[in-house]
Chain A
Amino acid sequence: MSNSQFYSKKVMEHFLKPRNYGRIENADAVGKVGDPSCGDVMWLYLKIKEKNGKYVIEEAKFETFGCAAAIASSSVATEIIKGKTIEEALKVSNKDILKELGGLPLVKVHCSLLAEDAIREAIYNFMRKKGLQIPEELEKRHEKIKARLDKTLEMHKKLGYVTGEN
């Protein structure tokens, strides 16, 4: 993995041609995350279908305000989780994202964590809606993510920024 201060070819490719960006209307799940240290935010939308008693991610799209690494991480994350069951998707970590991107500069590693958070949070949102049993770990994770998002959005609200659905 490269620790160069520059972005890899793969990062640039995903940044310039992000896969699956935009919004899913009537999404089955939305994961909203933010990083208060840099102000970046990521919205992850999922379409989830039930197949043989399993919940499978059929479609994933994102909207991201942030740096090139955040946009590339979002793009890669949507590709990785498409077709996975929610159990499988919960196991996807930022290491998988970094691997797919060919690494990120050290100061940009947190951008890939934001994408990991977004996956967790979208699935949490889905399980909540469906009334499924939420693992304790995911519940705890949600609380942390929520607190960080609130803090980030507080910054943007001071500017008067709004997202489409507010």
Chain B
Amino acid sequence: MRIKVNGAEKIYFDYNATTPTDPRVAKVMMEYFTENFGNPSSIHSIGKRAREAVENARLEVMKLMHARESDGKLIFTSGATEANNIILKGLAMKAWKEEKNHLIISSIEHSCIMNSAKWLEKQGFKVTYLRVDKYGIVDLEQLENSITKKTFLVSIMHANNEIGTIEPIREASKICHDNNVLFHTDAAQSFGKIKVDVNELGVDFLTVSAHKMYGPKGIGALWIREGISIEPLIHGGGHEYGIRSGTENVPGIIGFGYACKLRMKEMHEEEKRLTLFRDHIIKTVTETIPESYLNGHPVKRLPNNVNIRFNFIEGEALVLLLDEMYGIQVSSGSACASHKPEPSHVLMAIGLRPEEAVGSIRISMGKWTTEEDVEYLLEVLPKAVKRLRDISPFKGKWEV
């Protein structure tokens, strides 16, 4: 996918950060800004028409997660960040009354789960951060051993946003249910890319986000299994089953619903196509660029994600060089490496040293990535790496 920025052509390889909104989705949304602008809570015709559209969209989103209406409720939120905050803090509020105080999460969660957990710790809750192996796969034995009578929730992400590793959610949720503990998964990265089925995965709660799957930004959802209640954090007019008050983001919801409908039809083709690109990039780069290594699992990974570490150079420099010299848009191992030189907690959790972690970049693809884009990337990446290595004083490696 090629886009002009200030006259320069850029090639987008950062679909794990966000995707463009599918033009078909954007088109469907337009009507809900101007024509069909009603408040879904109004009882007049214009309001009812908006309500109908919102409820239809809700069903579309639930369909893509294979949830029947009788399986549970879907609550629209402003995105995955909010959904994750609601589930951790909303359940913690309830747990506290039941004298439960223990939360278990993996050590590679997105910062919204990580920082919510840390905040809960500050309020007096206990948090266990589960180890992962060198591929980023969570330690299920540690999970089983960590659960206590005080545990109110286990939250493990479905797929990791940096290294793409897909976690054994079915096994994890079974362990939790055998021990009478609720289970949540953050599926922001997997939803719309691979099959997500709430019943197959056996989850009680599931988080999703529209802008990772060609929907608009600022809309996401939390799915809650039937029969489980949580404490709301946002009080008001009782919207979204009383869990998230506030007039609905109708255009966003409509866009999300339509994006899900399109994904239902188009996802599997894309999964196959991107997996081929992914494996081609991994093989070519690690075989032809010396001292380059794959981060994450070789096959249990998102079809669109490649994360590679290059020794002797720094990821931020590589990201900028690829952008400015070759127009390629990727991101470095750490989310905000351009602001602070802190290595990513995910790369540290898989056992990299900070100096290794900073040499990593994430390349992620999507619907509009072409074979030509991939070949161009493979042509220029070795040049960019070599250039930075020429500047670096580190020239070789001892066997250690």
A67 to B359, CA, bound (A): 10
Contact of B393 among A38, A63, A159 (CB under 8 A): A63
Contact of B391 among A6, A18, A163 (CB under 8 A): A18
Contact of A159 among B314, B321, B338, B400 (CB under 8 A): B400
Q: B317 near A159 (CB under 8 angstroms)?
A: no
Size of the B side of the interface (Cβ < 8 Å), in residues, is: 30
Q: B314 near A65 (CB under 8 angstroms)?
A: yes
Count chain A CB atoms within 10 A of each CB in B313, B317, B400 and give the residue with the most.
B317
Q: Mark B349-382, 1 if CB is under 8 A from A, else 0.
A: 0000111101000000000000000000000000
A37 to B393, CA, bound (A): 18
A154 to B188, CA, bound (A): 39
Q: B316 near A68 (CB under 8 angstroms)?
A: yes
List the B residue with the shortest CB-CB distance to A5: B339
Task: State the majority secondary structure of interface residues on A.
Answer: mixed
A140 to B142, CA, bound (A): 50
> Which residues on the B side are within 8 Å of A68 (C-beta)?
316-317, 320-321
> Which residues on the A side are within 8 Å of B312 (C-beta)?
65, 161
> Which residues on the A side are within 8 Å of B358 (C-beta)?
38-39
Q: B339 near A67 (CB under 8 angstroms)?
A: no
> Which residues on the A side are within 8 Å of B354 (C-beta)?
39, 155
> Which residues on the B side are within 8 Å of A162 (C-beta)?
394-398
B324 within 8 A of A: yes
B199 within 8 A of A: no
List the B residue with the shortest CB-CB distance to A164: B395
Interface residues on A, range: 20 to 34
Q: A66 near B395 (CB under 8 angstroms)?
A: no
Contact flag A71-B391 (CB < 8 Å), given A38-B341, A65-B313, A161-B311: yes
Closest Cβ–Cβ distance, residue B72 to chain A (whole Å)? 41
> Which residues on the A side are within 8 Å of B321 (C-beta)?
15-16, 68
Contact of A155 among B320, B341, B353, B391 (CB under 8 A): B353
B325 within 8 A of A: yes
Contact flag A163-B395 (CB < 8 Å), given A37-B341, A158-B400: yes
Q: A63 near B392 (CB under 8 angstroms)?
A: yes
> Which residues on the A side are within 8 Å of B394 (C-beta)?
41, 65, 156, 161-163
Q: Mark A135-166, 1 if CB is under 8 A from B, else 0.
A: 00000000000000000000110111111100
Contact of A63 among B316, B325, B391, B397 (CB under 8 A): B391
- What are 27 inter-chain pairs, A to B, with CB distance below 8 A? A6-B338, A12-B324, A15-B324, A16-B321, A37-B341, A39-B341, A39-B355, A39-B358, A65-B313, A65-B394, A67-B341, A68-B320, A68-B321, A71-B317, A107-B339, A155-B353, A155-B354, A156-B355, A158-B400, A159-B311, A159-B355, A160-B399, A161-B311, A161-B397, A162-B394, A162-B395, A163-B393
Given contacts A65-B393, A67-B316, A159-B353, 14 further A-B contacts (CB under 8 A): A5-B339, A12-B324, A39-B358, A41-B394, A63-B391, A63-B392, A64-B393, A65-B312, A65-B392, A67-B341, A107-B339, A160-B397, A160-B400, A162-B397
- A-B CB proximity, top 6 nearest: A38-B341, A160-B400, A63-B393, A160-B398, A65-B392, A39-B355
